[in-house]
Amino acid sequence: MLNQKRRFASLAAAALAASLALTACGSDDGGDGGDGGSEGGTFTFIPKNLGNPYFDTSNAGGEAAIEEFGGTYEQVGPANGDDPAGQVQYINTATQQGRSALVISANDPDALCDAIGEAMDADIPVVTYDADTNPDCRDIFVNQADAEGIAQAQVDLIAEQIGDKGEIAFLSAAANATNQNAWIELMNTELEENHPDIEVVDTVYGDDDDQKSFDATAALLQKHPDLAGIVSPTTVGIAAAARYLSTSDAKGKVKLTGLGTPNQMREYVKDGTVEAFALWNPEDLGYLAAWTAKALADGDIEGEGDSFEAGRLGEYTVGADNTVLLGDPFVFNADNIDDFDF
């Protein structure tokens, strides 16, 4: 039958409508009985999102600090890490509830400013940690690390691991990544000044892509047979490089360090590919943020130049732009990596 065609082309493209309704989860704003009531005050932590191991770790530190000084800890936050509107909602609620202080990791530098302004108008101090807003819309930012500290820690690690001499290379993220380039420049300066026997032979870019970083590591090893070490100041890069090294002839011979997270690196620290790597300790970050919030709430500090006690971490002074610097990066190795889960 030649002319038995012409069926109805039923257009089913409407199925495309994938309604990804991100209902801003109706959270249980936990301790509504606790405000004003407890003498230490109620401190509200608003991380970028809930269920994120990194913030679980840092906020556990915050909770520990609040317990130490006898306050009440509460944590609220959006389900998604790119949801400033969700955070605004929680800031507004906390403001109405008259919390003692807010500790926020901002999902957006600008979008939260109005809500934070309302909180500050109600005499509620606002501390940002991990991710800052614009400096003029919060009280104090608790900074996890500064560029010099990050560069110094990585240079120290690689110098120690390769015996302070030999060829090393950098495995960076994107060629135009500002922070990466700043760190690498600082590391180069530090190496030139204090480690004359270490020669930087190459800087390659993995674009924070597993495969590209992986291949870039392979290429580095082939191009520089005498390579002694690789420094990768990016979490994706160091994990990919570790994965490559762990399965190659160079395992253990070529040292690898940089900035990584314990969960990503656990396997490679345990199998001996990586001796030690750096990052800040998020637990300490949350701990310090809580103490900063308390100092603000108690009126002990107001801004730049003021000092306060932060429990077991000791004394801190508020620096330029009203920031508090946590300190030198934390070094993870086989002995302590199992204490962390993020």
Site residues for other proteins per CB under 8 A: 2, 5, 9-13, 15-16, 18, 20, 22, 48-49, 51-52, 54, 79-81, 175, 204-205, 208-211, 214-216, 218-223, 225, 236, 239-240, 243, 247-250, 263-264, 266-268, 270
Between CA 75 and CA 45 the distance in angstroms is 5
- State in angstroms the smallest separation of the CB of 205 from other proteins: 5
Nearer to other proteins, 44 or 172 (CB): 172
Nearer to other proteins, 11 or 320 (CB): 11
Nearer to other proteins, 210 or 306 (CB): 210
- State in angstroms the smallest separation of the CB of 195 from other proteins: 25
Contact 254, 167 (CB under 8 A): no
- State in angstroms the smallest separation of the CB of 79 from other proteins: 8
- State in angstroms the smallest separation of the CB of 243 from other proteins: 5
Nearer to other proteins, 231 or 250 (CB): 250
- State in angstroms the smallest separation of the CB of 213 from other proteins: 9
- State in angstroms the smallest separation of the CB of 138 from other proteins: 23
Contact 126, 139 (CB under 8 A): yes
Residue 48: DSSP 8-state: S
Residue 50: DSSP 8-state: T
Of 283, 293, 288, 284, nearest to 44 by C-alpha is 293
Contact 320, 338 (CB under 8 A): no
Nearer to other proteins, 268 or 330 (CB): 268
Nearer to other proteins, 52 or 87 (CB): 52
Between CA 162 and CA 146 the distance in angstroms is 25
Nearer to other proteins, 140 or 220 (CB): 220
How many Å separate Cα 148 from the centre of its chain? 17
For every residue of 62-121, DSSP letters joined together read HHHHHHHTT-EEEE---SSTT-HHHHHHHHHHHHHTT-SEEEE--S-TTTTHHHHHHHHH
Nearer to other proteins, 38 or 264 (CB): 264
Contact 143, 318 (CB under 8 A): no
- State in angstroms the smallest separation of the CB of 215 from other proteins: 6
Record the tokens describing residue 241, joined without a space.
Answer: 């490089």
- State in angstroms the smallest separation of the CB of 130 from other proteins: 13
Nearer to other proteins, 249 or 335 (CB): 249
Give me the half-sphere count of Cα atoms (radius 13 Å) on the Cβ side of residue 212: 12
Indicate the helix (H) or strand (E) that contains 257: strand 255-258
Nearest 5°: phi and psi at 257?
A: -150, 180
- State in angstroms the smallest separation of the CB of 115 from other proteins: 22
How many Å separate Cα 166 from the centre of its chain? 31
Contact 94, 104 (CB under 8 A): no
